[in-house]
Structure 1
Amino acid sequence: MGRNRREEKQEEMMSMTHRFPAHIRPAVDAAPPIDVVQSDKEARTSGGFTALLESAVQQILAVTYWFDPAPHMGPYPITVRFSGRRIDVKGRLLPGDRFVQDETIEEVVPGSGPISLTTRVRGINPGEWLVTARMLGSAHPAHRPREQGNTTPVAGPPGPIARFWRRWAPSAESAEHVRTCPTPFARVPGIFPGIWGAMVTLGIAVALALQFLVISGDHLAVGPVWTVSLVAIAVGIAGAKGWFIVLHRHEHRREGWCIQGFITGAILAVTILLVVLDMPVGVFLDVTAPGLLVAMAVGRVGCFFAGCCGGPPTASRWGVWSSDQRVGARRIPTQLLESVLALSLGLGVLVALVSHGPAGGAFFVAGLAAYTLGRQGLLRLRAEPRKTRLGGLATSALAALVLVAAIVLLAR
């Protein structure tokens, strides 16, 4: 009568194991027979736009397992097995009322501190679920008994931050039941749903505000600035999506955006509109430069909390705990580094512009070239491998030449 929920959970899962006898997999352990469940990787890389919309409204189960790396000489792989059964079933279990899903991390970095692994289970029936997880490889659960000790130093996030993320996302180690939810609202440690769109919107507002302040401060007569800016933003958004689709055409991915596409599309739209409307191109570009750079700085913060564009896991003290939407770990914070780069350049261009006034577009060109040059260096730190090495070198060389030319022009 006095059993707590954790004991009930263990008993239910033991009962489930007896009900569904194990069979041998070619993996490292045995698992009970289950209904076919699509893996998270397959769901993210398959289908087109229709499949993306279907995935967004699909009910999924998102559950996280926490652990600390074991003491190893170098990175090592681990596999975690998630098992679940729907508990709000009346009568017999139906297909889609149970699952077993394995998730693998190819490289766990020893000494990197607490790590979270989140699985997204698709193809199951909506409802309330009882989920457990266990390690099939070599590692220490993050919530193990005190007497077992932790042979690796915890180098992850500070205690309050770690506790916040553990409360934020459903954990397989807790005694709480987990409910299914639409894909965009799944809770994952290190991720805030909708944060990327919110930060991009904030960045656009900041860019327009800075542009307005610079124009008003210098009493410039530029013309229908807002019309040109809004059209450029719309074209830039389309360019960002198109650039991403082209870059990932072989993987058939359509869920991301690329800043290169936004900048290219926006510049083309601005150039055409300024020529058609007979507006001063150089002045417009210069007054837009600070806002554009600061907006990119704000947007990169959104990338950090959305789990994209990040660096690989690291044991370095300079790492910051973040997620790639699946694995939360101490990482090289490439998004924050790029945000600092863009913010520094934006403020520098703003000070120079206010002090000296527009310079025929030279401030815009110099700021964008410096950003591109710094960004090429940061791209080497990302976890996602680059498509080609030659393209990065060519872009860096071109950006350096343009930056030197702009500086020479400004020095005259």
Structure 2
Amino acid sequence: MYNEWFSIGPITIYGYGFMIALGIFVAYRVVLYRGIKANVEQSHIHNLLFLGLAGGFAGAKLLYWITQFKNIANDPSILLNVSQGFVVYGGIIGGIAAGYAYCQKSNLNFLKYLDLFVPSLALAQGFGRIGCFFAGCCYGEETHSWFGIMFHHSELAPNDVKLVPTQLMESAFSFFLFFVLLYVARKKRPSHGVIAGLYLVSYSLGRFGIEFFRGDLIRGEFGPFATSQWIAIGVVLITCFVFMLKMKMPRSEYRR
């Protein structure tokens, strides 16, 4: 698990950054392919992708700063480090919010486009967590089980002790979720918003469970649960509430 792969002159290629970039590229190709098949205007896909990435980056960074408020108060220089320190849930919320604003301004069906993008979001997360594995961040707690992994040169994870491979666990879960979402979208052809709701609930439940095995306490804890677990609970409750309201709408509006 080496994060620094190789250098070309002054440019260093890092495993974390490479996997993030690869995930974005593959996710873009998938959403573009699905969008073309669905006769969606490509300009909207490009705009939503750009705004989603910008909103996701801002949201992930902002939520990280919120969880690190006490540390930032003691050391404000943390705010200057823009290359490290992100919270995935902040990225999801920020990206969705940016997409919602664009759809409202462009008079587009937000849920239709959200359904188009969320399978690719799960796919990108799968690649991103492999990047976390290379970097050593988001590591698991110490274990003596056979499936534990050991870092030897990590700047973030504890070295020379067996850890639960939470990065790979979430990566595998995200890839699995990607294929499930594609299957449901292709075979079941559900109403607008169902794929997005399935993603939000499924990812939140999976993330809630994996968080119990995380060992990087820097992410913040409140009471019995980590920050991400509280957010997961909120996402599930809000998503279920929205769908309860949606199901009470007239059938014509429900499928619009």
State the TM-score, normalizing by the size of structure 2.
0.77
1:37-65 residue CA offsets vs partner (Å, 9 max, x unmatched)? xxxxxxxxxxxxxxxxxxxxxxxxxxxxx
How do 1:398-409 residues align onto structure 2 when only pairs under 5 Å count? 398-401=234-237, 402=239
**Higher share of residues assigned strand:** 1
2:203 is equivalent to residue 371 of structure 1: yes
SS state of the match for residue 71, structure 2? coil
Could you tell me the percent identity over the aligned residues?
26
Structure exhibiting the larger radius of gyration computed from Cα positions? 1
Higher relative contact order (CA 8 A, sep 6+): 2
Q: Could you say which residue in structure 1 is the equivalent of 2:88?
A: 259
**Match in the other structure for 1:153:** none
Code of the residue aligned with 1:353 in structure 2: it is A
Partner of 2:117: 288
Partner SS for 2:162 = strand
CA distance, structure 2, for counterparts of residue 326 and residue 208 of structure 1: 34
Letter in 2 for 1:266: G
- Which residue is 2:68 aligned to? 248
CA distance in 2, matches of 1:235, 1:392: 19
Q: Per-residue deviation at 1:367?
A: 0.8
Contact 1:286/1:358 (<8 A) preserved: no
Alignment correspondent of 2:251: none
Structure 1, residues 385-405: CA drift from partner, whole Å, max 9, x if none?
Answer: 341135566444444443597
Q: 1:404 to 1:268 in 2, by over 3 A?
A: closer
Report the CA distance between 1:226 and its aligned residue. 0.8
- Distance, in Å, in 2 between the alignment partners of 1:328 and 1:249 is 31
> What's 2:165 paired with?
333
CA distances 1:244-297 after superposition (whole Å, capped 9, x unpaired): 122112223443111111111111110000000111211101110110001001
Judged with a 3 Å threshold, the aligned counterparts in structure 2 of structure 1 residues 393 and 303 are, in CA distance, closer, same or farther, namely closer
Deviation at 1:339, TM superposition (A): 0.8
Deviation of 1:358 (Å): 5.6
Equivalent residue runs for 1:37-56 within 5 Å: none
- State the superposition RMSD in angstroms: 3.0
- Larger helix share, 1 or 2: 2
| Contact 2:142/2:163 (<8 A) preserved | yes
Provide the rounded CA distance (Å) in 2 between the counterparts of 1:342 and 1:236: 17
The answer to whether residue 43 in structure 2 is matched with residue 209 in structure 1 is: no
Residues paired across the two proteins, number: 225
Q: Which runs of 5+ in 1 are unaligned?
A: 1-164, 170-183, 187-191
- Amino acid in structure 1 at the alignment position of 2:53: I
1:124-273 alignment, distance < 5 Å: 194-220=14-40, 224-252=44-72, 253=78, 254=81, 255-273=84-102
2: distance between equivalents of 1:393 and 1:317?
27
**Contact 1:319 1:331 (8 Å CA) reproduced:** yes
Distance 1:249 1:397, change over 3 A: closer
Distance 1:405 1:227 in 2: 26
Query: Aligned to 1:261, what secondary structure does the other structure show?
Result: helix
The aligned counterpart of 1:362 is 194
Which TM-score applies when normalising by structure 1?
0.49
Which residue does 1:321 correspond to in 2? Answer: 150
Cα gap change, 1:292 to 1:362, in 2 (>3 Å):
same
Name the CA shift for 1:325/1:380 in 2 (closer, same or farther; >3 Å).
closer
For each residue in 1:286-335, what CA deviation from the matched residue of structure 2 results, as whole angstroms up to 9, or x when unmatched?
11011000100110000011010001222111212234445243210011
Superposed displacement of residue 223, structure 1 = 5.8
Contact persistence 2:184–2:190 (CA under 8 A): no
- Counterpart of 2:105? 276
CA offset at residue 216 of structure 1? 2.0
| Aligned CA distance change for structure 1 residues 194 and 398 (closer, same or farther; 3 Å) | same
For 1:214, the aligned partner's letter is R
